[in-house]
Structure 1
Amino acid sequence: MDRSPDRRLVLSSARVDLLERGTSPELHGVPEVVAASWKRCVSQGVGPESFSGGYSEEFDAASRLVHCAAPVLDRLAQQIADIPACVALSDDRARILSRIDGDPWISRLLDRVHFARGFGYAEGAVGTNGVGTVFESGRSVQIVGEEHFVASLQSFACAGAPVRDPFTGRIEGVLDISCLSDHSSPVFHSMVRVAAAQIEQNLLLDRDVVQQALFDRYTRTESRSRDAVLAVGTRSVLSNRAMSTLVSATDLQALEDHLRFLAERHDDVDALVTLPSGATVRIDGDRVVAGSTVAGMVVRARLVCDVDATPPPVRSGPAVTGASTSPSMQAAERTVSDALSRGAPLLLLGEPGSGRTRMLGRRFRRLYPDGEVVVVPRAEIESAPTTVGRRIRADAAVPRLWVLGDIDALSAASASVLARELHVRGGRTALAATAVDGTRAAGEENRLLRIFRRSATVTPLRHRTADLPGLVAEVLGDLVPQREVRVTAEAMRLLERYRWPGNVGQLVEVLGHALRRRPVGDIEPDDLPSVCQSVPREPLRRVDELERDAIVQALREHDGNRKAAALSLGLARSTLYRKIHQYGISV
């Protein structure tokens, strides 16, 4: 490691130049990873002389990561026992979980800079270092002396390597060797990379029961088949080389979403699936269950029909809107169209807000452009089932589709009365109903089910993210048909990242909010409600939602400067960073 006076002068001069001129200098002579880190520090308001990483009592010193890393840390500490250095492990929030010191002298020095258990070393709070910079860069780093952004750390050197979950690829923590810069060696960088890989191997052998079940099924299936094999869990995806070359990345994403949807509903699958590109694959496989928990689905896939290289003929007439790229959604649309064209009463299942009524109306009007769609809410059916039934039975002057809302929630008495009234209907009248819970709708007391002949399930929006650009354009067209409004690529990425618990109904609300802020032109990320810039790990309480919204608003007002946002909120920067991570905020 070059520690010559000339090298130190180059780094010091570049750092001064950066602090005086902002993020624009080229920073000649500064390693790329260090230069990028310094610029992030400036943009995030990190002080150049001292820092406060903040202490948290919420860290888990007995976590699975600590358990799997303990023997590796002990061996690594023994290997550097003759050098005044320490071995440390952080969690996924850059908080120090454990530290093994080579001697009391280095221990006292590290305590002075709060490199100790419970303290945070995120780059946005502490500056360039061997823990936080690993998270930001996604790779192992060695930071020596003047390469630290904060002056109070420049007497130290640190080498850090990410410890990734071998199943998800997510960084679970960082393994670090720290010492005084005069004792630094490039060997430390190699040592932490090797040791981090050993910890990852221990994590592989110590997977939780659900992940283990999915991994074991994938391994058995892949070893016995020459086909492409794909395993999809709630958080994880596994595939062999044959799968990665079978279809395009877009098709693969659609297939993964489709399998997550199937895993919630079916024990096994053997079906032809048409993908967004037009390619058709046959998939067959089974749902994987660990105890009472669905781990995911593992399937074999074979290409039945590849994409035709010949361009499709150009057709005249208006473009068809609302077309889905999701295989499960396409199957539902085909069932709905077929049932409506044949006049077969149809039951459409799906989560609230998933667009069940929207799909029925769109497909009905495509068959009967002059037709009418009448939606009857559940409350109206409950209050007057006889009246509703007689209105539906009446002959219509034009083709008419009656949609009964949420019949799975109807009382047995109302369902029975309505069923008697609907025994005979007019010839130009079509009938459909929506339900959330198919099991509840299938109760013996629900006599309405005897009327229906076909059923389909609308896919939740979280399982068809590829449809979002088309849906956004369609919803904007419905809300403001005469205006020129677009969603920028950055705003669309936020929409695609969000999980949409309220489905299409929530998308309509979100775009309505954005239009009130930006009635024409380009909708930017700041025009979207705060909820779209937050992907929390767990459902939030109302008080948490208010806190999240306040943090997002402060970050927006200060152009993402976290130091300024923390000051305006009256929070310590370490607390703000913890809240940003807790709420999954991206601003």
Structure 2
Amino acid sequence: MDVVRVESARRRFLRYGRLDPAPGALRPEVLASWERSRAGEPVFVGHEPAGSAVAEADEVFAGFFRLTPHLPCALALVGYDGVVRVRHDGDDGLAELLDAVRLTPGFRHGEDDVGTTAAALAAHLDGAARVDGPEHLHPDLVWLGEAAAVVPRDDGGPPDAVVVWEHGGSGSGALGLALARRLAADVGALVRDRGHRRARAVHEGYAAAEAEGHAWVLATDGAFLLTSPGVRRLPTADQRVLGDLVLAGAVLAEPASRHVDLLSGRCAEVTVEPVPGGGCVVAGGPLAESRVATVPEAVRRQGSHVAPTARRDYAADLRTRASGSHVEARRRANRELLSPYLRARQEVAAAVGQGRNQLLLGETGVGKRTLAVEQFRRAHPDGRIRVVDCAALGADGPDPLARVRRELSDRPYLVVLHQMNLLGPVAARRLDESLRTLVALPGGPTVAGCVDSVSIDATRPYGLLLRHFHETVRVPALRYRADELGEIALSILHSLSGGRSLRLSLQVVRVMEGYAWPGNVRELADVLRYVVARKPVGVIQAPDLPASCFAARAPRMSMLETAQCDAIIQALYESRGNRYKAAEMLGIARSSLYRKIDAFGISYIG
């Protein structure tokens, strides 16, 4: 490569926007990339793999640097969208240079962001490519030499690229290109073997749980379900409860010990152990005690608490000795009462894992669509998603689900019907006809319907569609998720700040917890967007919030808040004011208990 001529051509292109005639020293594919590009700045978009070969690339890169440590290069996996997914460094000095130009995981370096890159060129050439020094359009990258090769995949996943980065002065472009091809082939081989490796890991986990002597063992990789003889002897309804639990565990990938109430009236203690790669093993058995206190379903449901008809004796349980199973059942019921979103998430994960159509209820802006899409992505990273805005459907026009019918394949498919409550009568009939034929197809999609209401009104037009759904999930409002509000706000802030240093003070979190959030998560995002526009870096303090966040909360509590307050008062009486014991009885963290005591204005009990 003639460095001087290429650098001269790059400067002329940046000045005039074209090269006429094109110099012979400039490769045609590089010039074509320049013409597609614009030299901007890398954008932080976060890390959402969605089917990328992240785990496989991590394994291959780590093995490479174990064999050849301190090699003056860096290896990366770059997604089809230009986002850096994984990076492994062999040289500290080169790592500092890459950090300075934001070639780090989570940042997008597409042609529309920073101009020509080897990953973008390899994607257009559908193979491998290299970009040396001044062939980069962006001035911050003219020192960089890079080679990229597309990871070969036959599973329909996104076309990632393995990139080898090195300093342009090393002059080893041909060797870097060969290395990129070799590593891409290794990553592709692991991707092709992904299903077999996951199945082997699930079988090994199942065998290990059986060897430990558990009465009930279930294991799944999302495609098949292994059950022990003890599980197969259970009633069908109990088997389904345990099956939902193991499927939800595979989607959520969170280890836990669970107390499970079976529909037959029995109770069980089980452990949920996720398997790396997308599987789960559930092992356990029935409780030894036969006396089990059942918790009325009305108490466990959001918004369905039935108030007592007489004055409540908060110290009644102090005069009786409750069995261990009764204490555990009450702790579980209190945990579900005080953290209703956890139950909603588990129900959605189980329904997605089994491909059951579900109806999500909740106030406007609580994140029903986000919850369904998030759990589907976790269960099926390579699946396809289509969101249908029911508010935009009219009495005429094309079939709203015709595109879904054309796109159906062997890949999982999720159809989200957004704002079903805004359907008109004619649009509801058209959608009903489309759904009836679509769900009857073999390998049809999973359907998630979103209704912006806390209850169902079957007399509305969307009532015609209710027959297509198998389950109902209630998504709680943001005001019932005070314990998670800080984490939710930080997550939204992270996506809005573009990687800048921006934090929430404890005072701000307390103000947020005291606000009712009538607009739910959508209003929270609007508030944080307002704050970020006025304070792009630093620690956000209470004066940075808009005045609306300091509005007094309505003194009247909802039925769910009344039930939560009653449960906390009961626990404080039984523990004689010991908040540590009360939190343990309620199954929540002490910090969560303190926040709820302050929010409800509960005075000291002891």
The TM-score with structure 1 as length reference comes to 0.37
The TM-score with structure 2 as length reference comes to 0.36
Structure showing greater Rg: 1
